[in-house]
Amino acid sequence: MNTKEIILSQANIIDDELIAYGKDKFKVELSLLDRLKDKKDGKLILVTSINPTSAGEGKTTTSISLAQGMKQINKNAILALREPSMGPVFGLKGGATGAGKSSIEPSLDIDLHFTGDIHALTSAHNLLSAFIDNHIYFGNELHIKEVMWPRALDVNDRSLREVETKAGKSSFVITAASELMAILALSKNLDDLKTRISNIIIGINENDQFIKVSDLKIEDALTMLLKDAIKPNLVLTTEKALAFVHAGPFANIAHGCSSIIASQMALKLGDYVITEAGFGADLGMEKFLDIKVPVLGKNADLVVMVVTLKALKLHGGVLEENLQLKNIEALLKGVSNLEKHLENIKSYNLDYVIALNLYTNDDKDEKEALLKWAKRNGHEIEISDGYDLGGKGAVDLANLVVKKLEGTSNKKFKELYDVNLDIDIKINIIAKNIYGAKEVTYSKRALRKLELFKEMKYPICMAKTPLSLSGDPLLKARPKDFILHISDIKLSNGAELIIPLTKGINVMPGLNKTPRVLDFHINKEGEVI
């Protein structure tokens, strides 16, 4: 069977609801949600991890492995993953399509242009930038005093963080961190998308009043550019499990979750939906639960916490060049980072399991040490060996997940904060309860923004390094008594988010000294190596 036939045979999708982008990539018509609106939602499984390290944790690989493992035990599981950004693909992070025998296909297409969603977002974003400048050029009828809308590009380019054009000073954000990406990810339908776009605040006038896209009257044109991008993308894994891959807001800067619409479709089509949130439970998971869940209207039924032995050792103080050496003492020291993330899950009153994502050369004694620690402390844990074995390597994890979901749980979800609280109070709750900070401080600019945005009763979308629970990427494991400094605060009125920027965070990443762009090669037949 071809890819389309496999999809139609596995899911309650009709032929006319699939839009082909070549032979192995499809978009799904939004009419599917109307057709299946009365169907009961499946169970929602959220995959998160400890703070990431250079050794990698493998959330996407584990998510795909789990879906394939559930397929092995005849469970109807569907993935809902984020769409990769070309910036990290060519930079330090690399691709975001899994690895080994647990990948989504066609991996290279997905990592690069895919179905053009990010290009559409970039075009819409910059059309708005151009129109603002044009409005000012032709007389500035709205009396714009300060433009708050940047430009966007899906490339890591630090030289564009601050630019000056003939229209004045400006800046670029990477498209995955743009407000339009967040809006696409949080919109429920095309009309909601248009409403959110119309509410984007582009600047302030001479009376310090907000100016919106609706004042410029171009929300229809911007929505038109995104009319196809809002439709979720559907592909298959290496073992032919279904995977929605749609929207890719960064989790250190934006809210780090795939789209609401893709999740809604997956919940109608699958008995189990496996989704991930970017980076660790301090960023992606917190934002999933505090930002996405209220819009989705469906809470996570189970959290899967991904760890690797190498990452734990790095948190335990091992230098990267010594990772191959056995060091159980460092491993158990690094467990303090895992313990804090598990405490964060418990603070929401959610059930969880731990997935130990294996590397091919992992030490068996280190593996046994972690398994014994988990058993001793009452944590349910299973191994995921999806890289080497595909779904067969995640059968035990799949059985544990199903057992947890089929068991009776009377737990009631506990919200972290009331969205109607003052902005600084909400920031303090996240900083102290989720990160473990002692205190939060603010720059003069951030204090001005607190006053400017004080009437906005939106969730907090913290922009912070993913590499540490603190705001300092060099502080590993479980730092305590640290101060979190807020250097600026942004408002995404269309996405309905308040975005505090911690010290050192950049919304336009740069390339590292030896970026992965050097690893790509293409032969005369057009084959990428």
Whole-number mean pLDDT of the chain?
95
Q: What is the rounded average pLDDT of the residues 177-204?
A: 98
Q: What is the CATH number for 160?
A: 3.30.1510.10
What single-letter amino acid sits at 380?
Answer: E
Q: What is the rounded average pLDDT of the residues 191-195?
A: 98
375 annotated among ligand-binding-site residues: no
Q: What is the CATH number for 456?
A: 3.10.410.10
The per-residue pLDDT for 379 is 98
Nearest Cα to Cα of residue 433 among 311, 301, 345, 499: 345
- Give DSSP secondary structure letters for 460-511: B--B--SSSSSS-TT--S---S-EEEEEEEEEETTTTEEEEEETT--SS---
Q: Is the pLDDT of residue 408 over 80?
A: no
The per-residue pLDDT for 92 is 72
**pLDDT level of residue 93 (50, 70, 90 thresholds):** low
Whether 125 and 252 map to the same domain: the answer is no
**pLDDT level of residue 525 (50, 70, 90 thresholds):** confident
Range of the domain at 477: 423-502
54 against 462, higher pLDDT: 462
Per-residue pLDDT of 210-239, as tens digits, reads 999 999 999 999 999 999 999 999 999 999
The per-residue pLDDT for 434 is 98
Q: What is the pTM of this model?
A: 0.96
Q: Is the pLDDT of residue 317 over 90?
A: yes
Q: What is the rounded average pLDDT of the residues 296-305?
A: 97
524 in any annotated domain: no
Residue 116, phi then psi, degrees to nearest 5 = 85, 10
Give the CA-trace dihedral at 266, 271, 272, 275, to 10 degrees.
Answer: 10
503 annotated among ligand-binding-site residues: no
Whether 256 and 379 map to the same domain: the answer is yes
Q: Partners of 44 in the beta sheet?
A: 273
58 annotated among ligand-binding-site residues: yes
The number of distinct structural domains making up the chain is 3
91 annotated among ligand-binding-site residues: no
513 in any annotated domain: no
Q: Is the pLDDT of residue 86 over 90?
A: no
Give the CA-trace dihedral at 107, 81, 51, 497, to 10 degrees.
Answer: 130
Rg value, the chain, Cα: 22
Whether 41 and 57 map to the same domain: the answer is yes
Whether 85 and 164 map to the same domain: the answer is no
Whether 122 and 99 map to the same domain: the answer is no
Q: Is the pLDDT of residue 275 over 80?
A: yes
412 annotated among ligand-binding-site residues: no
Whether 124 and 98 map to the same domain: the answer is no
**pLDDT level of residue 518 (50, 70, 90 thresholds):** confident
506 against 68, higher pLDDT: 68
| Residues shown for the chain | 529
- DSSP 8-state secondary structure symbol assigned to residue 281: I
**pLDDT level of residue 94 (50, 70, 90 thresholds):** low
60 annotated among ligand-binding-site residues: yes
- Give DSSP secondary structure letters for 507-525: SS----SS-GGGG--B-TT
Whether 437 and 458 map to the same domain: the answer is yes
386 annotated among ligand-binding-site residues: no
| Cα-based distances in Å from 232 to 37, 83, 109, 296 | 17, 10, 16, 15
Per-residue pLDDT of 11-30, as tens digits, reads 999 999 999 999 999 999 99
53 annotated among ligand-binding-site residues: yes
Whether 205 and 235 map to the same domain: the answer is no
Residue 412 token pair? 């009631």
Whether 439 and 477 map to the same domain: the answer is yes
Whether 250 and 346 map to the same domain: the answer is yes
Percent of the chain residues past pLDDT 90, beyond the cut: 88
136 in any annotated domain: yes
Strand runs (DSSP E) across 94-184, as ranges? 98-99, 102-105, 144-147, 151-153, 163-165, 168-170, 172-174
